[in-house]
């Protein structure tokens, strides 16, 4: 039954144009956390310019992508916004041994629209309540999406969670939460610092202490069923100076051993 389900998923992806039928030219396919989009799109362009290997990236919540890979969705590289979802695939032997690298780090911030009267926000219940004005706090879904889980951990650590829980607007991924604030649908949001840097319509009004949540780590790895040669070349490129400059410009921290 599992094999049948995996073949069905592969057929669906071919029909959707996200996988190529046998005999067609195969670009490198990357499944990556939504928060990586701005920087990784630029890094992918540089990789293609250097190697002539086209890259096709699919961005979504790390949880959603990991589940798709487990169901047989074809991809060569997986990039998660936390170690848990990579560990999950690793435990299922869906990650190619020896290719995993903890490449990037990030920071968790509170954002508001540029025209918001809020310029700085104290990380306490009264400040959040006043700034929200009875409206919602946008963040990624808190049970499975890494950005949401980091946010929940930080709010719990600072003893704000119970007060804010009735006022949450949870999105399918962190970029969706960013759009809620950018479009004025929510007065505040919790996203990564790199997401805030990617959207000129928002500003950072607070930064969570690094010790208020688990370390934000982005592991990258080749998948067990992908094109190992191309995936290794891609991962090597992402650890090189060209990609490092792109990631750092976007606000990521390149972790020791990751570049």
Q: Same CATH topology for 2-105+216-254 and 108-212?
A: yes
Residue 168 phi, psi (nearest 5): -95, 140
| pLDDT over 90 at 13, yes or no | no
Q: Does domain 2-105+216-254 have CATH number 3.40.190.10?
A: yes
- According to the model, what pLDDT value does residue 257 have? 74
Summarised one tens digit per residue, pLDDT across range 136-194 is 999 999 999 999 999 999 999 999 999 999 999 999 999 999 999 999 999 999 999 99
Average pLDDT, the chain: 92
| pLDDT over 60 at 18, yes or no | no
| pLDDT over 50 at 2, yes or no | no
CATH number of 108-212: 3.40.190.10
pTM, to two decimals: 0.88
pLDDT band at 26 (very low <50, low <70, confident <90, very high): confident
- According to the model, what pLDDT value does residue 24 have? 42
Domain coordinates in residue numbering, the chain: 2-105+216-254, 108-212
């Amino acid at each position: 039954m599992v094999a049948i389900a995996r073949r069905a998923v592969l057929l669906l992806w071919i029909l959707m144009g996200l996988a190529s039928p046998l005999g067609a030219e195969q670009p490198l396919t990357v499944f990556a956390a939504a928060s990586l989009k701005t920087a990784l799109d630029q890094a992918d362009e540089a990789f293609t310019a250097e190697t002539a290997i086209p890259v096709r990236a699919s961005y979504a919540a790390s949880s959603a992508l990991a589940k798709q890979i487990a169901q047989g969705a074809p991809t060569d590289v997986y990039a998660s916004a936390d170690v848990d979802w990579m560990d999950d695939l690793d435990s299922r032997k869906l990650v190619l041994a020896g290719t995993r690298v903890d490449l990037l780090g990030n920071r968790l911030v509170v954002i508001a629209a540029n025209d918001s009267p809020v310029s700085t926000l104290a990380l306490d219940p009264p400040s959040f309540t006043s700034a929200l004005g009875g409206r919602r706090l946008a963040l990624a879904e808190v049970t499975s999406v890494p950005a949401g889980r980091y946010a929940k951990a930080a709010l719990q650590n600072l003893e704000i969670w119970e007060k804010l829980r009735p006022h949450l607007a949870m999105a399918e991924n962190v970029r969706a939460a960013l759009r809620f604030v950018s479009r004025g649908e929510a007065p505040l949001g919790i996203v990564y610092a790199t997401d805030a840097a990617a959207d000129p319509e928002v500003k950072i009004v607070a930064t969570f202490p690094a010790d208020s949540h688990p370390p934000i780590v982005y592991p990258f790895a080749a998948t067990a069923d992908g094109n190992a040669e191309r995936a290794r070349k891609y991962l090597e490129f992402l650890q090189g100076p060209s990609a490092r400059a792109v990631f750092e410009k976007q606000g990521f921290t390149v972790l020791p051993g990751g570049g």
